[in-house]
Amino acid sequence: MTTRRALGWIAIGALALRLVLMLARGDYIVFDEGYYLLLARSLRAGHGFTLNGLPHVALSPLQPILVAVLSALGLPALWASRLLAAACGALLVFPVAALARRLAPESPRAPLVAALLVASSPALMSFVPFFPGRSWNLYFGSEPLFLLLAFGAVAAATRADEGHPAWWPAAGAMAGAAYLTRAEGIVLGPVLLATLATRAVARRGKRGAWRGDSASGQDRARGARAARNGGPGASWRGLAAATLTALVVAAPYLWYLHPTLGRWALTGRVQAAQTGGAPASPALANARTGGDVLQAFVWQGHPGAFLRSLYALDPSGTRMASQYWGVHRTPAPPAADSGTAATASTAVARATAPALPEEPARGTLAIWWDGLGTVIPWWLGVLALAGLVMSRGAGFWWVFPLAVCATLPSALTYVEPRSLLTLAPLAAAYAALAVEWIAGGVPRRWRPAAGWVLPALTALALVTLALRELVVSWPQTTPLQRVSTARRAVGEYLGAHLPPGESVMSWHPAIAIWARRPWRVLPDAPFDRIARYATLERAGAIVFSRFEPSPLSRPPRPFTVLLPDSTGAFGAGPGSMVRIQPVTETPLLFVGRMTTAAERAP
């Protein structure tokens, strides 16, 4: 069997495994996955790149654009998103195999072993939802698409470097598309182009050989081919073509950000992550940066400051404070009169959810270690380190941009497993070298069998965790799946009873996704402020849940849906009495309509 055909079978197996895992996932939708789906729905409906009713800048646009296109072809949006992720995760085996070929040019089997490890790596399983610990929150948005484009850009650059000039624009296009997929692409493209420019300057020796590559026959052949295709001058022309193509691909998003933010910017993600407004709590005010708050939330068991800042209302009470939920085109109005808000008596408790217990702060190195352990199993990391030593710098030029793309954003902002995912395919490529070396050390009579048995056992050790989670989640009975199914039931109820176009205000976006209605984020605030904000947003329903922060101290059911009164208001003026008139009630759901004393009078 040829290498290309073997890679094709590995990719088909990776796709099948990911599709089965998605079937086991069921109704489970993580927050960012839901946000991407809402953005795709907004694009398809012609409302632009909007979330929460406002122009969005925190998440990059390519993932929702592709989901919108696929859903326009007839696929349900949720499955369009998941099929896109599954296909990207399966296709990733091809660029990683190309990278392994550069790392071990004398080992024809290393690309296949690297592809097999990528196909079975638990960190690279698209939408595996229920891993123990933190890793369940790992891979649920644009990561599969980004990894495919990032490694594809590097693989295309290697082909261009070998003397195939047609691959230069492809490398630039994929680097630009990676930037449109995740903010880490801001690092990848410039570092890759700088690396290629450095190689062009460093080209020395006969027949266009490169310093830093291994002096193998294959490399000498590549040098000769590059010389035949124009030598160093062709490299500079190719770099110019790649750069121009990347800029053309990225330009529409840059043009979108300029009027939206009111300034030229490469991304709105960083500013949105910094809270987008004044500190909403003393805990946030004492934090050095928004990145510190996020890192404390992800790793140190301190969610309070992050949740209070991200879901806080602006002091005016008329908009969300964080720019994550969208960019307002007008200045914020003056702060609301807190005394007026406090005088409105309500029959609804204003207690906030109890704070979660906080753990002692942990050091940065310990957090990095945990992040790497989430992405790369320790034993695979040992194999990758051995392969790195054995490679003796071969392929360093191509690994460097990907490694910087994984580590620099984390160093500048905060450590999150998803930001380190680029290291997982790199570890697979280097581990393949170690596995090949181990197989070559067995007795000659067993060597042919060991060449395939050892990679198969390594892949089986990797995929065991995913298979275990498949068995656990297939019956759809895990707590997360049950809550997700309940959200779907509530959303479908609202979709059947709310007029078309009326928005749903909820903490979790899945409610609005299943309701097929516009979404407004539920603030973390006392009830009277939430009611005033929902009235200004003209929400058709407010959904409270026992599973997320809520101002309701004793909700009658797991989900509480409040409908506006006859005037479309959820609250009343000073001195008015607000009551809840029951509409319907089930073991899962309580629906009530807000009424005022004036409405109830004979």
- The pLDDT tens digits for 120-162 are 998 898 544 443 333 444 456 899 999 999 999 999 999 998 8
Q: Which amino acid is at 95?
A: P
User: 18 in a domain, yes or no?
Assistant: no
Pairwise pLDDT comparison (45 vs 222), residue with the higher score: 45
Burial class of residue 259 in the structure, from the number of CB atoms within 10 Å of its CB (0-12 exposed, 13-18 middle, 19+ buried): exposed
| Contacting residues for 218 by C-beta, under 8 A, at least 6 apart | 105, 106
Has residue 105 been placed in a domain? Answer: yes
Note the helical H segments in 392-474.
396-412, 423-440, 447-473
CA–CA dist 428, 116 (Å, integer): 9
Q: Which residues contact 600 (CB under 8 A, 6 or more apart)?
A: 579
Domain assignment of residue 557, yes or no:
yes
Does residue 347 sit within a domain?
Answer: no
Side chain identity, residue 423: L
Query: 573-592: per-residue pLDDT in tens?
Result: 555 567 889 999 999 999 99
- Determine the pLDDT at residue 357: 45
567 in a domain, yes or no? Answer: yes
Residue 490: per-residue pLDDT: 98
- What pLDDT sits at residue 356? 41
Domain that holds residue 109: 30-260+363-410+418-468
Task: Provide mean pLDDT across the span 305-324.
Answer: 90
Residue found under tokens 């198969």: 456
Q: How confident is the model at residue 599 (pLDDT cuts 50, 70, 90)?
A: low
Residues 346-361 have a mean pLDDT of: 42
Average pLDDT over residues 491-519: 96
Are residues 504 and 596 both part of a single domain?
Answer: yes
459 and 548 belong to one structural domain: no
- Of 267, 277, 257, which Cα lies nearest the Cα of 323? 277
pTM: 0.89
Whether residues 529 and 585 share a domain: the answer is yes
Same domain, 62 and 182: yes
Residues 243 and 180 in one domain: yes
Q: Are residues 518 and 570 in the same domain?
A: yes
Q: Is residue 313 part of a domain?
A: no
Radius of gyration from C-alpha coordinates of the chain: 27
**Total tally of structural domains belonging to the chain:** 2
Average pLDDT over residues 182-195: 94
Q: Which residues contact 100 (CB under 8 A, 6 or more apart)?
A: 110, 111, 113, 114, 115, 429, 432, 433
Assess whether 401 and 489 both reside in one domain. Answer: no
User: What confidence category does residue 342 fall into, taking pLDDT thresholds of 50, 70 and 90?
Assistant: very low
Inside any domain, residue 16? no
Q: Are 498 and 540 contacting, i.e. CB atoms less than 8 angstroms apart?
A: yes
**In this structure, are 199 and 168 located in the same domain?**
yes
The type of residue at 40 is: A
Is 153 in the same domain as 48? yes
Tell which residue, 435, 420, 430, has the closest CA to residue 373: 420
Band of pLDDT at residue 228, cut at 50, 70 and 90: low
pLDDT interval class at 64 (50, 70, 90): very high
Residues 549, 464, single domain; the answer is no
**Alpha-carbon distance 183 to 181, whole Å?**
7
Residues 450 and 557 in one domain: no
More confident residue, 46 or 294: 46
What's the mean per-residue pLDDT of the chain? 83
pLDDT at 452 over 60: yes
Q: Convert the pLDDT of each residue in 403-414 to its tens digit.
A: 999 999 888 777
Least confident of 288-297, 380-389, 544-553: 288-297
Higher pLDDT, 201 or 281: 201
Per-residue model confidence (pLDDT) at position 151: 98
Tokens 């194999």, located at residue: 383
Structure tokens at 361: 């702060």
Q: Tell whether 151 and 229 lie within a shared domain.
A: yes
CB under 8 Å to 206, separation ≥6 — which residues?
Answer: none
Q: Is residue 592 part of a domain?
A: yes
Q: Look at residue 230 and tell me whether its pLDDT is greater than 70.
A: no
Question: Cα angle at 135 between 93 and 372, to 5 degrees?
Answer: 70
